[in-house]
A and B are shown apart, each in its own frame.
Chain A
């Protein structure tokens, strides 16, 4: 009861005429505090935070930041930079085209959370605050100061709805919660970006290259985090850092530049991805890399079916399985019923073609259904595939797939004498088995990206989107709905099958358990769909980012154990509540230049 009363008072106070911050400190002091706090946090990372190297990452060294300290260093540096930029320091203004204050708040918050998470982790791991060295205390105090200072920065208060005096307690509580949410949202709202300065196109391409390099570094760092605490810290810093940079308007500016040079961006992104194995000293993380790529490629294929044509396919992983099984059977595995060993290009083509046939066979009867019915039927077909494969073991059915043992010992690929199972030295860097497959898989990803891009921007792609938006109107425009949907379904199946042909060689063994509807290890149909929805439907980079996150987070956070699926579900619910358009929203949503765009976006999305 008490909370409600206080909340009512807060909401009832009229918005002051002069804008003020969340904390009542004068603006000048707050800004100075935030900037100095960020800078001092950077200094603190060069000190020892604890006395023993028992806490992973060795935070005992003076003069050299390690482990989580590096993350705090980056966060502090960002805070300090945004702080200086908010003073209008010359040469830093390009950092904040959409205003520095919101970015400063988020950066300070991120630094604070990372630093305090580290301190708490040290105290709990080693047993008490006594294990902290002065450096740790300095970090805690400076990041807190930066956060307090940043929160004191003024912002435009939103006009709040007046409370209805007849509200019941629960209604009043909801009302207040909504108002406070609006205030918080306004506190980190970014202003309109100032017009971009004309840059020569070589400079713009250099910016793209720099951004891609940063992306590669962040990804490589994330994939290489060696202990749970560091990965959690990485997620916190990366999440808040990205949010801060986005609020500063840099992301918007960058996407404007990349939209101008789409081909350069695409080529650059693939060069950056291909550079990943060369940054690794051993094959350990290339393993994760190749599994992420397989997952991401299949998710991108699913994005044609779900994101463009709007067909909810819950059995998509079956097509990956069809491709993998086909390739495994024709590639000279000793347990295959066929005693043939075809070259890879042929087995890849056959795998894709067989998957396409399955797509047409499954799609032809089901695509006459709409919406939920289609989802249920595809879910059923996905399971039928798995169970059929499980039973074709010679006892329950014909001896084709070897039942639950699967097709094992799929030999490594050998293309033009290049043995994928061996370690090779390229440019002085040794490239192991998984790195080889990573590079091959990257080619397949490139094919899928090109197919996605070209098909979406054409007559057939427009027909898909039209079907997704309003099937009746699309039919009235002369679109043969069934045919167009079948093309999307079959194309998606083909691409998944193509990815499957590589997967069979990477995993050595193809078993039915790899192709379930829901499982802890991606790819499976549920995670594929989640990657598409999380990342952003109808985009290319969305499913790639979504798949990377969905693979990395469970793989890195082993301590979650049995709660992995629970945490995944929770994250999905929260994301859908607060960002229903996905992490990377569709270009169409960015096209909405109207102020009131936020509400209708969500509404119409639910309707579509």
Chain B
């Protein structure tokens, strides 16, 4: 029956500049494949850090290592100088919340209930208190609801509190996922491609929202592909290529770095090694075309 709803926001005590997240030498291997190799990353309080890299660079794997979904093969992750426990629900309780690249809401619950689920780690009522319904239960439930409504207000979904999560339009589902993550009162929020599939207006709104989250004293680590978005938003950007951290620095530095450009666009090589193969492919295509022409109607002979 201990009610612990008045837990102060985990971040509120943090002084600016204090290291919130400290990942050292994180390596993740799946069998013979090394998805993330020896990555160091720190996030300080009051900071928005971006994590970019081409597809398959290991960004989401790294995220999963941070949130306890994967246990890193090597290296350790510290949150406020505590080594993170290897279970994702304990990581959330410690103060790291996340959203997912492909939205993972509880589709058949209402918007409000989704946020209330996010409150799980900050409330303590168990089965007995639910069955007996003492005054403590009602108080805690009311407090949770008030807090959840406040968060919905914050992301602008208060009017839709009673809608089913799956009936929300795409952009609002993203917002709801952020509200749900905030409900666990994190000190660090991990956002996995928060603007994927959004139009420019929605992206701008998301940017405002993330700034507002930062202003609440919550550090943010964000994976994103939209370069303009990430360059506007982030204080620091780390680039991950093939599981390794290529460079870390402010937006301008990263943007100018030739290795980053090469990682995204490829670089012209001296002796053009692909030319031979390209010519071969072209020739094969031409040959294939010729055979089809020679035997018209062949495609109908099945």
Contacts and interface: CB of A to CB of B under 8 A. Distances in A.
Interface in B63-118: 67, 69, 87-90, 92-93, 97-98, 100, 104-110, 113, 116-118
A469 B107 contact: yes
B120 A463 contact: yes
B69 A476 contact: yes
A392 to B, nearest CB: 32
A608 B105 CA distance: 12
A197 interface: no
Contacts of A555: none
Nearest to B117: A466
A455 B133 CA distance: 10
Interface residues of A, number: 38
B131 A477 contact: no
B108 A478 contact: no
B87 to A, nearest CB: 8
B236 interface: no
Contacts of B117: 462-463, 466, 474, 477, 479
Contacts of A481: 89
B6 to A, nearest CB: 16
B116 A478 contact: no
Interface stretch (A232-240, A431-439, A587-595): A587-595
A145 B133 CA distance: 58
Nearest to A490: B127
Given A476-B69, A476-B88, A480-B89, A608 B108 contact: yes
Given A463-B117, A477-B117, A470 B104 contact: yes
Interface string B129-160: 11101000100110010000000000000000
B109 A469 contact: yes
Given A470-B104, A473-B100, A465 B89 contact: no
B106 A473 contact: yes
Interface string A572-593: 0000000000000010110111
Contact of A479 (B108, B120, B131, B141): B120
Interface stretch (B25-33, B162-170, B256-264, B281-289): B162-170
B107 A477 contact: no
B174 interface: no
Contact of B120 (A459, A470, A600): A459
B120 A478 contact: yes
Interface residues of B, number: 44
Name, among A462, A481, A600, the residue most crowded by chain B CB atoms within 10 Å (CB to CB). Answer: A462
B121 A478 contact: yes
Interface string A441-461: 000000000110011011111
A460 B126 contact: yes
B131 A478 contact: no
Nearest to A451: B131
B233 to A, nearest CB: 23
A475 interface: yes
A477 B69 contact: no
Contact of B133 (A454, A460, A473): A454
A487 B162 contact: no
B123 interface: yes
A478 B166 contact: no
Nearest to A600: B166
A483 B97 CA distance: 20
Contacts of B97: 476
Given A459-B123, A477-B180, A478-B118, 13 more contacts: A462-B109, A463-B120, A465-B108, A466-B120, A469-B107, A473-B106, A475-B69, A475-B88, A475-B89, A476-B98, A477-B92, A478-B92, A592-B164
Report, nearest first, the 3 A-B pairs whose CB atoms are least far apart. A478-B121, A478-B92, A458-B130
